[in-house]
Amino acid sequence: MSDILIEPHGSVLHLIMNRPQKKNALTLEMYQTLLGGLAQAAGDAQIRCVLLHGGNEAFTAGNDLRDFALHPPEDTSAPAFQFMHSMMYFPKPIVAAVAGVAVGIGTTILPYCDLVYAAESARFQMPFVDLGLVPEAGSTFTMPFLLGPHKAAEYLLLGTPFGAAEALQMGLINAIVPAAELIPRATEVAEQLANKAPNALRHTKQLLRQSWLDWAEEAHGREAPLFLEALRGPESQEALSAFLAKRPPDFRKLGA
């Protein structure tokens, strides 16, 4: 079975991250399939809304570090960057349902979903610095925009994890839903959106986003070269080596 399921249900396309044994950690192939799913939804007039979700244990654990080491992005044409860009500018509504871990891109793409529902089990984290990297997906804009500078610094510099209650308070999600009701609730909302006037919906989404999307795109443009540079640097290599060896990274041995 595929690690990404693309399932049309009436006017709603379900994009399902389906690699539970790895907590839906994203590989190059998974990014490519997600891109294909978004392109399919954008080009099909019968599809009015996308529902993005994982399973009960994980939304996504972020990038699969082993696969990332084997297939590192060389530039912003890489599927991971193209997926971020597609999420940012996707013309139709996207609803996300988050249960379990939402690490790295599992958190940073949520501002580009129009409505987000989370189970009590949802656990968000952006540990880029701990991986010797910088943030991505314009999160150096979206997180201060949502949280204010000090909370954004806590989550992006320290990599502090946070739960569904904090995500609701900061406006990252719309509601906390019991785990058994999460997918049915998100599906119900997606179907409500799918039944609305499509052009009015699309234009309203565009108007809602345009006031801040240019700023997010500018932040993404600043982040991407530094992310790629960091990925090739000694700090990221130390973090990867430590991960593979199942030991804490030691950044103190590296020069500033």
Count up the domains in the chain and report the number.
Answer: 1
Structural domain that includes position 17: 1-180+197-256
Residue 190 counted as domain residue: no
Residue 189 counted as domain residue: no
Residue 162 counted as domain residue: yes
- Mean pLDDT, range 208-215, rounded to an integer: 89
State the residue for tokens 């610094």.
Answer: 153
Residue 186 counted as domain residue: no
Residue 116 counted as domain residue: yes
Instruction: Find the CATH number of the domain harbouring 173.
Output: 3.90.226.10
Nearest to 117 by CA among 23, 60, 31, 51: 51
Contacts (Cβ under 8 Å, ≥6 apart) of 242: 248, 249, 250
Measured from the Cβ of residue 6, the count of other Cβ atoms closer than 10 Å reads 17
- Please provide the average confidence, as pLDDT, over all residues in the chain: 94
DSSP 74-132: -STTSHHHHHHHHHHH-SS-EEEEE-SEEETHHHHTGGGSSEEEEETT-EEE--TGGGT
Q: What digits encode the pLDDT tens for the residues 3-46?
A: 999 999 999 999 999 999 999 999 999 999 999 999 999 999 99
Residue 94 counted as domain residue: yes
Phi, psi of 200 (to 5 degrees): -65, -40
Higher pLDDT, 168 or 65: 168
| 253: confidence class by pLDDT, cuts 50, 70, 90 | confident
pLDDT of 224 over the 70 cut: yes
Query: What does pTM read for this prediction?
Result: 0.94
Do you know the residue count of the chain? Answer: 256
- Mean pLDDT, range 202-211, rounded to an integer: 92
Residue 255 counted as domain residue: yes
Residue 12 counted as domain residue: yes
